[in-house]
Structure 1
Amino acid sequence: MIVYEFKLKGKEQQYQAVDDAIRTSQFIRNKCLRFWMDNKGINKYDLSAYTAVLAKEFPFANELNSTARQSSAERCWSGINRFFENCKKKIALKKGFPRFKKNQRSVEYKKSGWKLSEDRKRITFTDKKGIGSVKLVGTYDLHFYQVEQIQRVRLVKKADGYYCQFCIQVEVKQTLQPTGRAIGIDVGLNHFYTDSQGEKVDNPRFLRKSEKRLKKAQRQVSKKVKGSNNRKKAINRLGRTHLKVSRQRKDFAVKLARCVVMSNDIVAVEDLKVRNMVKNHHLAKSISDAAWSQFREWLEYFALKFGKIVVAVPTHFTSQNCSGCGEVVKKSLSIRTHVCKCGVVLDRDENAAINILIKALRLLGYVSNTVGHTEINACGETILYLNLAAAFKQDCSLKQESPSL
């Protein structure tokens, strides 16, 4: 499944119709949630059937395409199902009980309610909301795919305009020649990550670099009268600034993750609980700005696409253990150099990256638990390269996903 996004070009009345469709989708989603809360034992099929009842009861809901109403019910059930899954897993603290939406920004159609033009440059929405035909602006070419391959069409409202997303069912896997390389990655705040070969990638800090513009835009919002058009314009300028930061962060994560996966057959990362880490109010902004979770998601996506392996290992003692002898060398966060009595002197993050790689190789069965760190390092990078290359050539049964995922 791939997603192609185009910007919509239309008239002001069409944009207002899109807003109306989004509000209706939000209304149906909230109604389905209330129906589930008031009636025990409701399943997703009952919610889907309830959308037909809402269409008969509310004329504005009947104007929205039936598949779009069903998609709203599916969104509601997705939140409910996530809540049940968190309860089964016994996740600590809040379980994510579904809430009512207040500011939904998208509406989703399925197979009906829309039609592409012959040149694939325009899309027409055929329901009663009055969106009509709008122009698609983008660099993707939809001629490569059949209309039957398009599973979903989303209309998304962002700070800088309206967008149309096409969810296309297509095989995304590609075959690459094995590189025979394995790498461990330790993410951080000083550097975005340090790998097991000692290479470092600088932290771009997009949010920190844009703080001056964000603070200025926020001040302009606070100075305007609530409910005025000038305040709405100031909010839009603030939203566009935040949108630019998020796009910069995503672009960095995508390009870096693709490069890492294409250059290595095995990528080992830490299974970080970022949600818990941001509770530290001194580091929350820096951790959120680094976007470690987004980087890991793209690593896993490209691993599936190119047939590589991404392994998430536990974080315990990756920084404290010595990568040479395995002894515990306690050190505070202020100590950035790992010094062990066995003679190993490494950067703290590089030592952690090597430990992460060793843990991943153990999970995959390349290294037994009885083999010490000294023997692994004594083999050297060349022998490790040959062993990995031979394993891939023999088409050994490697796991495509981390055992911890």
Structure 2
Amino acid sequence: MQLRYNFRLYPTPGQRQALARAFGCARTVYNDGLRTRQEAHEQGLPYVSDADLSKRVITQAKTTSERAWLSEVSAVVLQQALADLNTAYRNFFASITGKRKGPQAAPPRFRSKRDDRQAIRFTKNARFAVTAGGRLRLPKIGDVPVKWSRDLPSEPSSVTVIKNAAGRYFASFVVETSEEPLPESASEVGIDLGLTHFAVLSDGRKIDNPRFLRRAERRLKKAQQALSRKAKGSSNRKKAAAKFAKAHARVADTRRDFAHKLSTQIIRENQAVYVEDLYVKGLARTKLAKSVHDAGWGRFTAMLAYKAAKYGRHLGKIDRWFPSSKRCAACGTLAGSMPLNVRSWACPCGAVHDRDVNAARNILAAGRAERLNACGGTVRPAV
């Protein structure tokens, strides 16, 4: 399986200028390619093929005085920018024709130099390398210092250099990794994700919701107010914007670290993990949007998925419409209407349930039943 390994870069001032030049050239080629295809569509001309587009916006453009500076960066960076555009078009066409599942993909749009995130990609054709001194050698940029937090498991097939809104640089390597199965575990767990508690496990454990964004709101508010007072275009405004972006980056880093540690712990302890297939995008349209985004359920479940595949565990997702909270985990009786303010309830069978723990146990039971059916078990319950 393919995974990404991210490392922090510390380019010199000269290398930062070279990277800024590469970001700008890649963005220009992407926008030129998009404009060429849009103009061909408006004029009723055939769709411009990938090869013809590369010839127009890269090969021929370099010979003109307006785009001669494209030769100052690696040609692989320009080709990869067009590859991103071609992928965006294929996804859009597959989406509108029904070949691509999920939400409809939007058509490609122009990239701006004011985007918070700038990125370029180098493949093996660019001959990037990690030097003996532990630096990342990039063509026409130089040997960039890297903060190695771990070893790469194999030779990377590509590297993406990213600059985020906080002005930090990262190298994202794509590497091929093999599965590392953990020793078999007899335990299985169901997880009920929520806002009061980030996660409630079927064994009764409750993981508190850290609320990283809520805790940092005061600091973020002060940084936003300081930014709003600065004159547009001034150096002080740039400094205030960088400070504001760093504050947000600190929140994102803390949330990511929490999700990594919790997902790793759960995967190591359990042979099978079951979660609800939550529609986070829909929940983010409600009045709880800020809290939903702060929780980061989508990223957490994505981490569970790839770590389960890597370590030989099973991850099952339960239908979001499954009545996990209202069904008695002891007898299966389905309760009536249950508002969110009801945190515990009693079943006619005599069982008293904590709402979230009961939901986690039902998720575990439903996941086990679904997995049994997938493995060839009986569909109908026994008489």
- Normalised-by-shorter TM-score class: 0.7 to 0.9
- 1:195 alignment partner in structure 2: 201
Q: Which moved more, 1:252-261 or 1:360-369?
A: 360-369
RMSD: 2.5
Distance (whole Å) between structure 1 residues aligned to residue 60 and residue 332 of structure 2: 65
State which of 342, 353, 361 in structure 1 corresponds to 2:349.
342
Are residues 1:268 and 2:278 paired?
no
Q: Secondary structure at the match of 2:163?
A: strand
Q: 1:91 to 1:124 in 2, by over 3 A?
A: closer
Matches within 5 A, 1:89-100: 95-100=105-110
Picking from 289, 294, 298, the partner of 1:284 is 289
2:74 to 65, 70, 90: 65
Question: Does the Cα contact within 8 Å between 1:56 and 1:62 map onto a contact in 2?
Answer: no
Q: What is the CA–CA distance in structure 2 between the aligned matches of 1:254 and 1:201, rounded to whole Å?
A: 14
Aligned equivalents of 2:345, 2:218: Cα separation in 1: 37
The amino acid of 1:6's aligned partner reads F
Q: What is the Cα deviation at residue 75 of structure 1?
A: 1.7
Distance 1:371 1:2, change over 3 A: same
Aligned CA distance change for structure 1 residues 107 and 229 (closer, same or farther; 3 Å): same
Shift in CA distance, 327/106, structure 1 to aligned 2, threshold 3 Å: same
Q: Are the counterparts in 1 of residues 276 and 318 from structure 2 also a CA contact under 8 Å?
A: yes
Q: Distance in 2 between matches of 1:48 and 1:259?
A: 47
- 1:322 and 2:332 are equivalent in the alignment: no
Instruction: Give the equivalent residue in structure 1 for 2:247.
Output: 241
Q: Return the alpha-carbon distance in structure 2 between the equivalents of residues 9 and 356 of structure 1.
A: 46
TM-score, normalised relative to structure 2: 0.87
- Where structure 2 has 5 or more consecutive residues not aligned to the other structure, the ranges are none
Deviations 1:197-239 (Å, cap 9, x if unpaired)?
Answer: 1111000111001001100000011000000000000000000
- Contact 2:325-2:355 at 8 Å conserved across structures: yes
Match of 2:14 in 1: 13
Counterpart residue number, 1:398: none
Deviations 1:115-148 (A, max 9, x none): 4364242233333xxx233322333345x64xxx
**Identity rate, percent:** 32
Alignment of 1:148-297 (within 5 A): 149-280=155-286, 282-297=287-302
Q: Could you say which residue in structure 2 is the equivalent of 1:106?
A: 119
Structure 1 residue 111: Cα displacement: 1.3
Q: How many aligned residue pairs are there?
A: 364
Describe the SS at the equivalent of 2:157: strand
Contact 1:125–1:132 at 8 Å: present in 2 too? yes
Match of 2:86 in 1: 77
What runs of 5+ residues in structure 1 fail to find an aligned partner? Answer: 376-405
Aligned residue for 2:233, secondary structure, equals: coil
- Corresponding residue SS for 1:365: helix
Which whole-Å deviations, capped at 9, do the CAs of 1:261-301 have from their partners, x for residues lacking one?
A: 11111111111111111000x20000000000000000001
Q: Quote how far apart the aligned CAs of 1:318 are.
A: 2.0
State whether residues 162 and 170 of structure 2, in contact with CA within 8 Å, keep that contact through their aligned partners in structure 1.
Answer: yes
